Structure 1
């Protein structure tokens, strides 16, 4: 039996690549239960596989489409960059799991005579196919379709279809994307009836000026009833009054293409893509992609997605202001592109080419630079372009991802430009960009991005400044193909990146990495469900947790990061000043006529009933702005406290992706500052606040000399100040009236986020923290002093074993007006400086105060930013308002437990529980708070969310601030302005008991 899997060629016996389309010709789905047997080598079950007489009754059955490693056979494997087999192209190890599939089927009674075509939409990684004992051929290129002509072989009854699928093949060398290796027949299998003389392939060219040309491999008739058009193929027409297609207004004209009695569905979008003057233009105007990179993923089905899941993704994208998708790093199921046409998304369609693992060979033998791979690489390109060429949503072809450079890219470029000159090309990894119409990078810093916008960037390594290549690259539009690595808690700085992207006309957009966490459903030894990552599979090499880097959790629950992206990229801007609001339309194509604008006023988070209404906004065209007067709010009479106005832009009418009233964009503005009031209780939910820095900017490190400690020795076990009771030895607060608590202690630690851990040795903040002991602070009491009956001063020192670094602390308590005022001062001491290099060696992730409360506390209510978690570089999505939550609901269930649940700019907080006195905390003016049932140390040690169990206490942090999130898991270092500086920190609060 022939073994094709190590042949570097793309396939054999297949039909030519062609457009994917729907028609009224009969189609038989062969999805369902197939016989299946897994073997350990590429020989599978041996030469008898295609024999119709083979008794397979003892074989197992498997769902098609699916991946066999998710159906109980073998294990999935995850790598980020490394090949999971030796780099020995085009050969593979003898141990090569191989699945043999068999299906018996009959044709429907009315199946027409004439041609029949067998189509596979996706087989990973090499599929060899037999029908009724006859070899049809084989194919590689896992995420692309292939077809066989089975006319004369398929019979009315008793057909036997056999497929051998090797897990690894020569094609695997071209498919080293950052993703799970998931073998099997994972997309649809279909038998298509093709009428004699019918159209097999056609091309639609529809420009935004109304010019239409449909060509086909045989003559046919184009009909578009809405336009009153009937025209033969091959004849160009120009139509008046055609509405162009765009992602913002996805206008499709439905029609048919007919020949030989078959009617093919047409969904034509008139649009033009070009690059002119160093900018990307669609329909003659510049566009800005607000995009995400999207892998196909489902925790149960892997890359085998159904249509409902695709719709769910697209609707979530549209509701979160995403307007573009990069199909990282392979063409998606064709149904996804049909849906992008209908819902409206710009698509960068990426070829199924990545050879990242050759980095470990110093790029020696890299396939794009080796002649034996040329046909396989061109084959993948042809199959993508031919399949997807008629989709208006596809506006850019991407040649592949992270595959270095090589001569094959010139061949790929030349072929696409000849076949489809209507779309520009993208390829990021070749530093010359000679095959790309865009300059493109991954994960630049904010400073680097600013320089790129100004066309002042340094040339890539190997490119001479001022050379023709350098000059050409500077003239190209810039496409940020990956940024803001959404791994774990994050990413940070999304608003910062968007502000730069909107400031320079060179930019045509950016794509966050990535859409969804690639967690796979699993159960532990106790039967508890969890999501598996690469590190849960006992195999090497292993990408560990790196597959958990999405804006959605594996079950498609949006993460706080997606809410932050939604706010950062919202398509309407607001600037309120001088009694009016300037409204900026950030759409590229449409005016604001589809939106309504509503407003209301809140004081300390409480809506003022009579202060609400709508704004009458005049026509505001794309990329234009209008000034609208604000009503006279009369805020001074609304009451004391913080007065805020919220303005929202909402959908006036329902769309296919959201209901009427869906919030597209919003802003909040503080109108006046009244007297800061403290109501007896907080209630209701409420409003937003201005973005003042959570932490002052870093100044020079002040390492203070040792100071003497003062205060009398206290022999009594407790010291009382007003209704507050303190430990007489340590000075720790133990009680306020009937409320039991313990603390505070200085807290500089947080459970590291994935971004804190960085990528390898780069940006490894958490490793630096642990190296100097920030995770193991010990505390020493330094004396208690009582200047008067209403004041207590508690001094101390906190720091780790083995180091001199730490903080000297002063906690000053004053009882006044029935509440306990607390001032905290923390001064750095010791070896914060790297003595060898004279610079700061590390800065703490948090500057805070940790308390513990009885475990009976269950709920929190606060006035500040919410309702979701927020951090200094990720807070734009958090409104200022009045919010209520259970303590348990404050926790964000990241697949890998890490710091979560912080809330910046909290003015007022109440912690309550049945039968317990309520603790009220007032920030002076603001605090960060977190509340959870376990410590940061327990959170750090947990491997899964279900490892976190109730400690019997509530751990409450009332902090000066935390450092930002960043995206250093794959990206630049966290900007200094979002770090906690090593200097004196002071913050204060008032603690009180509410019955």
Structure 2
């Protein structure tokens, strides 16, 4: 039996690559239950696999499409950059799990085999990683290139009844060396399998060219095909033969913002093929990316195909859910990281409206561990395999108007093959520009592109003042050419765990310079796999080396497609309408690229201390074209005599779309009116009775421990605190990437996670005041804070001022040049576990941090304490709320506990400590742990990206903050 899996060639016996399309020609889905057996080596079950007489009744059955490792056979593996096998191209180890598949099927009675000269085609949309195929004992051939279709002509092999289709799939093949794409390794027949009837004399492949001339609004339509046919587009009055160009005087162009598709047909030999034509032109002119003559700015995400139970075997409903979520969160572009998606996804992008960077199924990142020696793009042995993947992508997807850029691949170094790929695409499809990020010369790319630059570096790029890449001489031809290219930020804002931060900062820069054509957040969804009890597994949960650990959990959606707080923050940062209040006017800036604001309605309302004040209405915004600003008078609204008066202005959908209902909020802003100081409601008078017997110091109804000076009772509330708290359960961004940006390791090295506390003097300067002095710091170190807690009884409440003065050596001895700053400056209280709910006035309703707060609104919010927690798959700091004016905790049978900031506090409330959260022990401790903080550092995106900007850190200096507590 022939074994192809170590052959570096792309495949044998296959038909030529062609466009994916829908038609009324007969089609038989072969999806369903197949017979399956897994073997340990590439030889599978042996040479008898294709024999129709083989008795497979004792075999297992498996769902197709699926991945066998998610169907109870073997295990999924995750790596980030490393190959899970020795680098010995094109060879693979003997241990190579191999799945043998068998399906018996009959043709429908009306299958048109009788068409004179008609053909029957067997199509696989995706097989990972090498599929060898037999039909009725006849070898058809094999294919590699897991995320791409391949077809065989089976006209002579198929029969009306009793067909036996056999497929052998090796987990590892030579193709695996080209597919190291920071993802789960998930083998199997994971996309659709179909039998297609092709009529004699029919059209097998065709190309739609639908260009748009922005100067006069005209379009030009040309459909070329491999056989003569008739093109009809009723809405345009077009009826022309293939090969004839149709000039259309007036068309509405296709864009992601207004995805106008003209439905038509292509008919030949009794078959009717569906056409979905979008007129648009893409070019680079003057160092800018233009679509339909106008500059565009991608507000994008990178998207792996993922489902927690089905892996990359996505169904159409899941694709629609993704696209609707993207559109509702102002995402207008997708980079198909790092391979072409299922073709149905691109059809949906055409219909819903998303710009697409279609990326080839090429990544060789693991050769970094070989010093890039033997990297396939630089080795002639791999040329045909690399070109084959390119051809199959371009030919399949060439007719989609949503696809505006071809990407040659990802993180595959440099090599002559990229020159071959570039030349082939430019000759085959000159209508789209090309992207490739990793070759520092950028000779094969129409864009300068980077991953994860700092804010300062991005600013320099916008000014075209960046340093040349390593290995490129300043003012060399490559350097000069690169500076003239538009810039595409293909990956930024690594969305791993709590974060990413600085999204609004990045967007402000991206919108400030003409060079930028947009950016793509890494990435859309966490790659968690379904585990027991509703949990999700990451790479580190699989006992295998090498292992990428938690690095697959880096999405804006949790694995079950619940939006994370990071997605809410992105939605606000990239909103396509800017609304600001300036000098008594409302300035409305249209940040769309192609449409005016006629599809939006502008609403306003007024609240006082978060309570609706009865003022509201709509703004009559005049016509405002793309990238223009309109101004309208500020609505007349009365400023309350007490409290904070805020006006909220929203841009909402005026009518329903296919992806959101009318009233869906696209953008918003808030502005405070006047400067009236906040009014604090009167507190109940202090009881004249003595509190229950309790040894200690008293200030009215407040009782303090005489030894520690900590508050232990306030009115009817038994509590303990405060304790100086400088620690948080490290986020994934705090842990950084290896030794880079490893803030959590630095914190632990100096003991910020193990502060011990000592009470010094406790003073009573008068009967209304208590002053507690102390010191907090870790064992083995001199660093710490000298603390002073000053308590005063005021108007029936208890006022607290905290002063924390740094002492000792704050340098990390492991990295002597670094100064370690604490992640938090706060005060922790322990409260009765009976508290169940929190109401607050401040920013909400979701969590917020110093560098991730744009999505939060000023208002009055109420949530159960348990609902304040964000369920990141890996437990870490979450649930913080900045700029809290006041909060109240309530529970059955307990007095309401109120805290007023002066003027603001950060707060978190949860049923476990930060230490338990860090350990992943999310069990009810029987207490509520309340943090009332001066501040907490930002979240950043250093899990794969630049260090947290200094302005979002907690400096090592004297800190003072105040609050008032009452029960």
Please tell me the root mean square deviation across aligned C-alpha atoms, in Å.
1.2
**Alignment of structure 1 residues 587-986 onto 2, 5 Å:** 587-609=592-614, 611-635=615-639, 638-679=640-681, 717-833=695-811, 840-942=818-920, 947-986=921-960
On the 8 A contact 1:28/1:190 being kept in 2, the answer is: yes
Please give the residue correspondences for 1:153-552 in structure 2 after superposition, counting only pairs within 5 Å. 153-209=157-213, 210-523=219-532, 528-552=533-557
**Cα distance in 1 for residues equivalent to 2:818 and 2:962:** 27
Whether the aligned pair in 2 keeps the contact of 1:119 and 1:147 (CA below 8 Å) is: yes
Is the alpha carbon distance of 1:681 and 1:6 closer, same or farther for their aligned partners in structure 2, counting shifts above 3 Å?
farther
SS at match of 1:787: strand
Cross-structure match for 2:88: 88
Q: Within 2, Cα distance between the matches of 1:156 and 1:140?
A: 29
Shift of 1:328: 0.1
CA shift, 1:679, in A, is 2.7
The aligned residue for residue 104 of structure 2 is 104
Q: 1:990 to 1:8 in 2, by over 3 A?
A: same
Could you say if the C-alpha distance between residues 897 and 787 of structure 1 is closer, same or farther in structure 2, counting changes exceeding 3 Å?
Answer: same
TM-score of the pair, normalised by structure 2: 0.98
1:562 pairs with 2:567: yes
Q: Whole-Å Cα distance in 2 between the matches of residues 861 and 680 of structure 1?
A: 17
Alpha-carbon distance, 1:675 to partner: 3.0
Tell me the SS of whatever aligns to 1:112. coil
* Deviation digits for residues 340-359 of structure 1 (CA, Å, limit 9, x no counterpart): 00000000000000000000
Change (3 A) 1:236 1:823: same
Q: TM-score, normalised by structure 1?
A: 0.95
Contact 2:911 2:923 (C-alpha < 8 Å) held by counterparts = yes
1: CA distance between counterparts of 2:364 and 2:814?
A: 41
Query: Which aligned segments of 4 or more residues in structure 1 are displaced greater than 4 angstroms?
Result: 834-840
Give the superposition deviation at 1:676: 1.7
Q: Deviations along 1:651-673, whole A, 9 cap, x unmatched?
A: 00000000000000000001112
Tell me the secondary structure at the aligned position of residue 88 of structure 2: coil
Aligned to 1:691: none
Instruction: Name the SS of the counterpart of 1:514 in structure 2.
Output: coil
- 2:21 maps to which residue? 21
- Which ranges of structure 1 fall in alignment gaps of 5 or more residues? 683-715
Q: Distance in 2 between matches of 1:242 and 1:838?
A: 66
Partners of 1:153 and 1:785 in 2: CA distance: 96
1:696 matched residue in structure 2:
none
Residue-by-residue CA offset, 1:488-541 (whole Å, 9 max, x unaligned): 000000000000000000000000000000000011xxxx33100000101100
Mapped to 2, the partners of 1:675 and 1:864 lie a distance apart of: 15
In structure 2, how many angstroms separate the alpha carbons of the residues matched to 1:646 and 1:885? 22
Counterpart CA distance in 1 for 2:782 and 2:683 is 44
Over residues 360-396 of structure 1, what are the superposed CA-to-partner deviations in whole Å (9 max), with x where a residue is unaligned? 0000000000000000000000000000000000000
CA separation of 1:803 and 1:886: change in aligned 2, threshold 3 A: same
For residues 770 and 838 of structure 1, do their structure 2 counterparts lie closer, same or farther at Cα, with a shift above 3 Å needed?
Answer: closer
Q: Deviations over 1:298-323 (max 9, x none)?
A: 00000000000000000000000000
The alpha carbon displacement at 1:634 in A equals: 2.1
The answer to whether the 8 Å contact 2:897/2:966 transfers is yes
SS of alignment partner, residue 553 of structure 1: coil
Q: Kindly tell me: are residues 598 and 681 of structure 1, through their superposed partners in 2, closer, same or farther at Cα, counting changes over 3 Å?
A: farther
1:681 Cα deviation after fit: 9.4
Give how far 1:838 is off: 7.5
- Alpha carbons 1:358, 1:366 under 8 Å: kept: yes
2:126 to 91, 97, 122: 122
Separation in structure 2 between the aligned mates of residue 33 and residue 431 of structure 1, nearest angstrom: 48
Question: Residue in 2 aligned with 1:697?
Answer: none
Equivalents in 1 of 2:808, 2:675: separation in Å? 42
Please give the alpha-carbon distance, in whole angstroms, between the structure 1 residues aligned to 2:487 and 2:574.
18
Partner of 1:66: 66
Contact 2:749 2:812 in 1 (8 A): no
1:987 and 2:965 correspond:
no
Partner of 2:932, secondary structure, is strand
Per-residue CA deviation, residues 801-831 of structure 1 (Å, 9 max, x unaligned), is 0000000000000001000000000000001
Aligned length: 950
Contact persistence 1:250–1:343 (CA under 8 A): yes
The SS at the match of 1:786 is strand
> What does the per-residue CA deviation read over 1:712-754, in whole Å, with 9 as the maximum and x for residues that have no partner?
xxxx940001211100111000111111110000000000000
Aligned partners of 1:603 and 1:639 also within 8 Å? no
Return the offset for 1:778: 0.1
**What secondary structure sits across from 2:505 in the alignment?**
helix
Contact 2:683/2:795 (CA < 8 Å) preserved in 1? Answer: no
* Contact 2:589 2:630 survives alignment (8 Å): yes
- Helix, strand or coil: the match of 2:363? coil
